[in-house]
A = this chain, B = another copy of it.
């Protein structure tokens, strides 16, 4: 296939996605914002979120500056190509942009969604889903834009070979991952510190409802939803999307030494964008739809996209790779199915329609301790199914791609499975991102004193969002594992191209002590990383708790609604705390692979990457699902079971939910990024390790 056509098609689909996002954004903006009070509240949330992002970018800029100089020096020493530092920067900028745009539209549509819910549920869904789609298509659009522009430059302007092109592209993956990690960790700490702080003092101690305007941390809580669950997730999924595509490109070049294997992931992704756009038109409901019908509407959209891509990628493989390679199609197919199945497993373990969460809710009868123990074991147990699904996925993808006779083709197949899994990201992310918008809308409805019915409607949307978010998490976690394995293979390829590298990486036998020790250290990283981020949430939350308690005590008339709390102070505290706390975990992720490499050498790095991938996958699933199960067990009790709201069971469940918050929204999702960032750092600094390592 002609290279220019491939680039043009990729570029076109990127532009198409971005234009579609723009049209949707304009459509959302036409909805009215509601009462003056609603406007004012939305304005405060927007301000807080903008202020946070501005300060976050300032800190991240320092990191990018330092890395740019470091990479520049390495480029001058000829250890990497001169494109690397620039590619690194663009990856970071585009990742940040994905988060920024997503958050912008989310903060502009929260009041609009609440206002739409005053009319009817369906209207609310349309606002929230459209806003979510803006984010979804911005992420995939920017991703393909970045890839196609760089490919064009490197290939047609600088005339590089395929190997050098994918090498430079992996660097913008590293930029994107670094930015994503900052965004996820910082945002995750912000949102959970505010949430935990608001809940602990407001709900538990003072006994006022969630999102009560008397709670000084309530605005911070809503800001947190935007900077964490929206901006953080945007940067995160930009990274996942781009990472899966470029690792497949890199392995394709290594396995087939030609352009076609590199074109395939690009074209699948381009096709996925189109399918996703069409899919969004299937998300429609009739007036007065039930919760089940709403979910059906969303599922129709994602299912349509998935089925079309499943069918259409078969001829694509046939034509692009040539007919003798048609079985590789099943790698993509395995990825698609795998993503859906992991999502289903997640739903089973975390939705209150199934036994695990119902049983978990029942453990609250015997107190807080038993619901905590129960939630932790649900999470641990829930690792089994995803592990089996991913294992089957790997096995299928490897062998259908011809791994039995040529290992590099098998690894390419694994990377393609990840691309397949994420091909419909445009629409799956839309169904994922609309949740926080509905959540915010609920907050605004409560604070603006709107009718009970409005809150009920936003709650219905929000609870739906929890289910679709479970599916989204399945895709994110599953693709992270597959991409990380693909990147590990890219690392090995990369080392082979460096002089003296082949020798250093000759023994990757699992009984080689450097591999084994790498395995131990790598597997330890997600534990340490999770601990650091949770500690950060704990510390930040404590400062919020103290501040909220102080305001309750010192501001006269606050509890009677006669005086306003100092919202800005809480937002400011969260901002400062989360920015301070996000630095260490991220630095750990950047520094450790270099240090391990310098001591244990390349085989140690491979062991480390394998260990981190395996244990990171487990920890991410464990933590996300424990958190999800606690959250929904609490909602289940609030729905009138085991004594309902205000009962002892409910109090126990609130504690569970609070513990689950940093589990599922800070540590869990960050680990997905961590395992890929480790590989990318290793790839970029491979030359350093080959030349200067001790062992």
Contacts and interface: CB of A to CB of B under 8 A. Distances in A.
* Number of copies of chain A assembled together: 2
Interface string A512-532: 110111011101100110111
Interface in A514-570: 515-517, 519-521, 523-524, 527-528, 530-532, 534-535, 537-538, 541-542, 545-546
5 contacts: A367-B655, A519-B610, A520-B617, A523-B614, A615-B618
A190 B75 CA distance: 63
A395 interface: yes
Dominant SS among interface residues on chain A: helix
A524 B618 contact: yes
Contacts of A662: 373
Given A363-B542, A541-B366, A520 B391 contact: yes
Nearest to A607: B510
Interface string A605-645: 01100110011011000100000000000000000000000
Interface stretch (A77-85, A303-311, A382-390, A434-442): A382-390
Given A489-B511, A492-B511, A516-B610, 11 more contacts: A196-B369, A204-B367, A363-B538, A367-B545, A370-B538, A374-B535, A380-B530, A381-B531, A509-B510, A510-B515, A611-B614
Given A366-B200, A516-B394, A384 B528 contact: yes
Given A511-B492, A513-B398, A615-B615, A655 B527 contact: no
Interface residues of A, number: 78
A524 B369 contact: no
A492 to B, nearest CB: 7
A364 to B, nearest CB: 11
A163 B485 CA distance: 38
Interface in A360-418: 363, 365-370, 372-374, 376-381, 383-384, 387-388, 390-391, 394-395, 398-399, 403, 407, 410-411, 414
A521 B373 contact: no
Interface in A170-209: 196, 200, 204
B610 A387 contact: no
Contacts of A538: 363, 370, 373-374, 377
Contacts of A336: none
A363 B541 CA distance: 10
A346 interface: no
A488 interface: yes
A374 B541 CA distance: 12
A618 B366 contact: no
Contacts of A378: 531
A531 B378 CA distance: 7
Nearest to A411: B511
A513 B415 CA distance: 13
A658 interface: yes
Contacts of A622: 527
Contacts of A372: 372, 655, 659
A508 interface: yes
A291 to B, nearest CB: 29
